[in-house]
Chain A
């Protein structure tokens, strides 16, 4: 199952609800005012719970003092954007932004490239070791970070890749590639096999078929895999905290922690930074989330 199939099936069921049994649906679905009110009340409560911590963070980021989170009442009178200008001017915000972008985009790009070739291979071919390979891809997804982080740390320090972008990109790839490969396999499965055959008949090499015919058709699937890689790499905490040592190479996930040390806790600045990080990522998430959800649950149903 892929994005397209799910969407069409949703459309179909949507139609059958609206078109044919309209009257029966309305009668059956008719709810008294009490039931409607209850639904709304429950949803409003849930929405408040979902929204409140984020709103609170935004609110706290406007307070000038680092202990204002204990006295939120004071923020109303002293509300200011000073924290934001301070963060932008006097902290390593922009070098964190740079390292985050390097690591995240690097992981996205490399991850999608590797995953696309793999996804295509496992979608179109049955080669000896196929089952084992798929099983390995699946298994990799449930590795707890504790399994790999110690040996990874040793290997990276042997290779001198600790505290380097490349090291972190490669390590992040271990978590995103297997999943993206599953995802893309599912997508390639929906591209008719006849297209490959036509390409071959017209004299394209196997790689030509892949590059010129299948990849352009798979753009939506590639995009979903890229979104997934991007968001995963962006939110990665464990590896980044362990492998990035120098302050100017911190990604946001590490940099944000550095506001609270044993000696000092600049909570107001931290809140402002958190908001600055959260806004663009959340906007991006909202733009792509529909694709992401259908992709996530429908990896490789077609064996």
Chain B
């Protein structure tokens, strides 16, 4: 197993999939000559040529629609949308075409499309370029939405997305591109729809995904030193959502906190909290709590931006409140 960055894992996976399957093509703004705004596609134009790695005009709706048509006819396009904020320009194509065609054609066509797009704040890119809009897509039946938190999952989930016959949105995260971790060599395809228990624990369940799963794991390790056993669930897939793993953990621990980078209202945390209420109600000793971004357009000023995003301190505070509310004694 090699220790590589999340960015490298994405790059290597794209390259491996391009080599494995001639139907795999890449489309996106600046992915070819410029090698990608975040250099995920570095070297791929040179290696695979412009028929496989295609620079597009700045027109998300157009090239997403193009990719959907190509997917309907048998290719496996992997579209890079520079950030999830720009996907709003393509949302009609994604929601009304990609997500619907299999059902509305009575199963005659499928759309084996992948949209890779990074979300997340913390880079001082201001309000319109720092959003976490994954719930917009996770809400829509007909789409699959995955959000890898680790380099290993960046590889496994991207490979799974490319090989899936339905449209899959791969939510990357600007703050994770440089994180490093062990990545299995060779063929590594994850299962979409399965959450991972990153760390077992018996006292409290912390649920996160993408960057928030990394925060959760960090916090859980810190709490370990105080004798608090926090179990960390990385959702990995927002649609389908692995409700069984979530509920099984909440039943074991009786307490749960969800941490997410998106806004609190109607967020992933709300869905997880409702899932726990429905699937583990009789096992809860305290209300499920959520830690999320402040409900404001993300400020540009660094101190304000940091204050608005959830961090380890905010998560620890809410975990302690939940433990105290149940007279947890360490």
B and A form one assembly: no
Tell me the A residues contacting B by CB distance below 8 Å. Answer: none
Tell me the B residues contacting A by CB distance below 8 Å. Answer: none
